[in-house]
Structure 1
Amino acid sequence: MALFALQLTFTDTDRRLQVRPAHREYLTKLREAGKLLTAGPFADQSGALLIYDVADEAELREILANDPYTPADVYEIASLQEWQPLFPVKPV
């Protein structure tokens, strides 16, 4: 398994807010499946940070393709990096 840090920049606030309930439901399912460690928007609502625990980048790209935000075209990927945390990630 690999951890990936994904930073998004939001591009269409009105459309994003319409799709957000479906997006958050999708994230909840990913969290329950152990694929998403944590996620949340920045305080200024300009974007978000998500940390995924997946087999590889290909799996993460598939997850993103299925996220309701993707077909709504409400974000751009600002950064996508494999991440090596200094301290172990503790489950919530």
Structure 2
Amino acid sequence: MAVFIVETHYDPAHSEERMAARPAHLVNLDRMLERGQLVNAGPLADGSGAVLIYTVPDRAALDHLLEADPYPKTAVQVTSVREWTPNYHFHP
């Protein structure tokens, strides 16, 4: 399994769209968490975006999950995807 850190940016011009899709986005995150695909996620303290940590077989699997997110692509953009090698094991 690979671990990826994904950073997103919220476009302030599309905040109404993002907030309208937020309930579906949170349900999607909960499902990924239950399936062991999502380790953790949360907004940045300044409200400009979020950081999500995924554990998936490979980059293609991650791309599939990111594409399926209910947030409109105009409202939330992925700004960084980095594969990460954690020093400690996650405890779901």
Q: Same fold (TM over 0.5)?
A: yes
Which residue of structure 2 lines up, in the alignment, with residue 62 of structure 1? 64
Which residue of structure 2 lines up, in the alignment, with residue 78 of structure 1? 79
Alpha-carbon distance in 2 for matches of 1:47, 1:85: 22
- Aligned Cα root-mean-square deviation (Å): 0.9
| Identity in percent | 40
Structure 2 counterparts to residues 1-92 of structure 1, below 5 A: 1-11=1-11, 12-69=14-71, 72-73=72-73, 74-91=75-92
TM-score normalised over the length of structure 1: 0.91
Q: CA deviation at 1:87?
A: 2.5
- List runs of 5+ in structure 1 lacking aligned partners: none
Number of residue equivalences: 89
Q: CA deviation at 1:89?
A: 2.1
- List runs of 5+ in structure 2 lacking aligned partners: none
Q: CA deviation at 1:61?
A: 0.4
